Structures are given as C-alpha cells and as structure tokens.
Amino acid sequence: MTDRPNVLFVMTDQHRGDAIGADPACPTDDDGYSIVHTPNVDQLVGDGALFSRAYTPAPSSIPARRCLWTGQTPATNGCTNWTTDDWEFENPLPRLLRDAGYQTRLTGKTHSLPQRNHFGFEQMELHAGLTDPDDYSEWIEGRSDGEYGEISHGIGRNSWDPRPSHLDEHEHPTNWTTNRALEFFETRDPTRPFFHCVSYVRPHQPFDPPQRYWDMYAERDLPTPYEGEWSEDTYREYVPDYPKTSAWCADLSPTTIRRARTGYYGSITHVDHQVNRLLRKLSRIGELADTLVVFASDHGDMLGDHLLWRKTYAYEGSARVPLVVRFPDEMAVERGRVVDRPVGLEDLMPTFLDAAGVDIPDTVEGRSLLTLVTGDSDDPDWRDCYHGEHGPIYHDENATQYLVGERYKYVWNPVTDDELLFDVRADPGEEVDLSDDSEYDETVESFRERLVERLADHPEGYSDGEALQPRGADRPSA
C-alpha cells in the first residue's frame, strides 16, 4: 500500500466513441437499449466520469499515441501524419512516472518506433499486431508448433472483410494480453505504486472475435452507415469498381457492411469482458479502491460511414474516442458524471501526473481532466473547442484540419480548401453539411478565424496569420 494511487490505463485501438454502451450516441435497438454490449466499461462511469466529447489529436495510431505519451499536439511533437522515425521524447509520461517511483509496465501494443522502444516503461510484453515478430506471435507459434498464427485465417490487418477467429478463445491475442497483464499484478513490486498500460490491438482489424462474440451480434439489427449528401460529392469519385479489402473508400454491399460491424462490435465486447478480468483481479488483491482506472482509445473507425473505412478522418466515427475514468475511492470528486467539454488524448498525460502528484513539465500542452471533475465542469478557463489534424494519406488529397466544440464541428481540407460544418449535437452522424447555409455564415467565419490563429505557426504553413493557406496536392508530406 502506498499513499499515491495506482494507475490502470486500458487502451483499445481503432475504437469509435459511440461504440460503448454508456455513450449518449451509441446506437440503440427498438426498445431504446444500447446495441453495443460493454457492461464492464459502462459500470466505471458510476464511480467516475464519461467524457462524451473526447477526441484524438491525429486520427491514426502513431501520431495519436505520440500525443498521448508526450501531452503535446501533433505539430509540436513532429508527427502530423501516420509515421515518423523519431521516438526520442524529452519528457515521456512513463519515464516521468518511473522517475517518480512508479513501477511502469506496458502489456500489448505500443506502436512505438522501433517496435521494442520502451520510452520509459520498465517492462513490456508486446502484442504489436504488425508484421514484425512480437511476444504474442512467438507464443502462438510455440503453442501451435508453427502450424498456425494470429492471422492464419487469411484476413488482413486492415481488412473490412470479417470472420470469426480460427483460434480457441484462450489463444486469441485479446485473452493473451489480459493473461500477461494479470501475471504482472501477481509479480509486481508491492512497495511501489504501478502505472500499467494494458493496450489491446482489437477492435482494430482483423474483425475476428471468437465465435461466441461473433454470435452475440450476428442475428441482431445493426445500424447502417451514416450517409451525407456531401459525401457523394466528396468521395464518390474515389470509390473503386473492385475495392481491395484494405480500401479506405468503398461502396460495399449491406451484407458485407453488416458482417464487418458484427465482427467489430463482437471484438469490443470481447475486450470488455477481459476488462472485467482485470478489475476482478485488482479487487481480489485489494488494490482496486486505490487505483485510478482510465479506458480510452487512440482513434476510431469509419465502418462505412460516408463511403469511408479505417481512420485518419475528422468525422465522428474516426476522430471521437471513448474516454471513461474511474476514480480511486479516496479522491474527492463528484461521480457518475457525463462531461461534455471538448477534451483530447494529450489531456491524459497531465491527468495521470496530476493524480500521481508529479509536476507537469512545461513541455505538456494538454490539461488535467481532474479540473473538470474536482470543481466546476463549466470552468470558463477550459477550452471551448478542440483541434485535430492529419496529413495526406491513402490519397494525396485526403488531409484534414478540424475544430470541434460542444455543438459544432468545422472541417477544412488543407489540400482542396473545402470546408464543412456539422451540428454534431443534433446530427451526430454528420449527414447535413451546414457550411453553405447562410444562417451559419458567422459560425463558419468564427471557426475559420480560430483555425487561422491556431495554425499560424504550423510547420506546414497552413496559415499566414491572416487567412488559411491551402497547399495543393503537391504539398510536401508530413
């Protein structure tokens, strides 16, 4: 027992914000009940808070996770697109906590470069879900004598084509990640508080939950994709006649889309049940009461909304993420709250440091979420809008900058100079673009001016301080 809280940080990959049952925008059945079954994550809200306007600063794994571990924006930490080779940080979160006396451990996915870069974690058990060997791939190869592995079923790691896993449930990487995490709780140093990041690769593709979890959704009426009239004008030209299974833009059959969502939601419920194993273990060893539990994801998945798949977009399916926090018993906060202020992944690092009583370095740009739960959630000093971005990927015109507040989202394409405006409170599926409606001219202009100011010192030169500066399709990549 220590006088500082433990931290269990559960992270998923490519998990939409509306894909937990407690989220206000989660799709419902005819009786009004949430379709996505996540009772264990949902219950955390009762002892904590749900942040319903949580966003990723860059909607793909590497830049999002860099922001999370540094508390910085993509432009500051030098990664406004999918990848960069530089993973040397001045003040990464796990190193600061380690230096402050925490036992730091990561189980699962890092997406750091190179793959075994610990950047401050003392211990690591790796399931990267990539092409290079990791601890899980070596384990399953030994278990099968080399006869099968994680994706021997033939489904690619970025494929919209789903199927139930060929693996026994106890061989699935989601279970493996949990088992390695439970081993840490049994063998950790009891004289130090822990910071344990349990990072699941799922629900990222392949959409391959164990058969039991596939069956939970296979016969249910699942939501169909959102379809905005604006998306026909924006993306129809990119729809291929014969899409690859890794296609970012595709007009797939209703049956295929429904099966993809079956695999996706099944993967989420599978993770949720594994979260229960983690919580039960902490309870049995008498540590749950003293543990800050945070559940979040790096970005979402479009799942066919607006003809789009995968991530990197400003739209809700890609950019908004689940964020649930359960507070230690002794923390003086109001519990069971839904906080609808705009927050982002760079706010997690100062939150963890704040809870641990560790000084937040000047390099951190995010703000502690505890500000919104220990005092007034209407704190006028909190940001009134959140900024996210992603450089061109999949196609040289596929880039985005966005600002989102509690009601409206403004999206600007820095290559094509196109603008969109959505009322995400009334239209969470973003099916109606308001940017050409004269009633919203002042709203568009206000957001545009904010983005001009925000991007004034951006390394890509998107603003001269007076106006936005589109760079065209020949712009250099990030």
pLDDT tens digits, residue range 108-147?
A: 999 988 888 899 999 999 999 988 899 999 999 999 999 9
**Token pair for 374:** 């220990």
Q: What is the pLDDT of residues 251-299, one digit of tens each?
A: 999 999 999 999 999 999 999 999 999 999 999 999 999 999 999 999 9
Distance CA 459, CA 438 (A): 33
On whether the CB atoms of residues 349 and 339 are closer than 8 A, the answer is no
pLDDT band at 47 (very low <50, low <70, confident <90, very high): very high
pLDDT band at 83 (very low <50, low <70, confident <90, very high): confident
Distance CA 303, CA 287 (A): 38
Q: Cβ neighbours of residue 150 under 8 Å, at least 6 residues apart?
A: 129, 136, 137, 140, 167, 173
The predicted pLDDT at position 473 comes to: 47
Distance CA 287, CA 264 (A): 32
For residue 478, pLDDT beyond 60: no
For residue 314, pLDDT beyond 70: yes
The predicted pLDDT at position 472 comes to: 66
**Hey, what's the torsion of the CAs at 79, 85, 89, 95, to 10 degrees?**
120
What's the CATH code, domain 6-374? 3.40.720.10
Residue 238 — φ and ψ, nearest 5°? Answer: -95, -5
As a whole number, mean pLDDT of residues 69-83 equals 92
Question: Per-domain residue ranges for the chain?
Answer: 6-374, 386-454
As a whole number, mean pLDDT of residues 86-101 equals 93
Domain topology for 386-454? Arylsulfatase, C-terminal domain (3.30.1120)
- What's the half-sphere exposure (Cβ side, CA atoms, 13 Å) at 223? 22
For residue 410, pLDDT beyond 70: yes
As a whole number, mean pLDDT of residues 388-396 equals 95
The predicted pLDDT at position 126 comes to: 97
Radius of gyration of the chain from Cα atoms?
21
C-beta neighbour count of 251 within 10 angstroms:
15
- Mean pLDDT score of the chain: 95
Q: What is the pLDDT of residues 135-182, one digit of tens each?
A: 999 999 999 999 999 999 999 999 999 999 999 999 999 999 999 999
Distance CA 164, CA 336 (A): 35
Q: At CA 339, angle to CA 333 and CA 340, rounded to 5?
A: 160
Helix, strand, coil tally for the chain in percent (to 5): 30, 15, 50
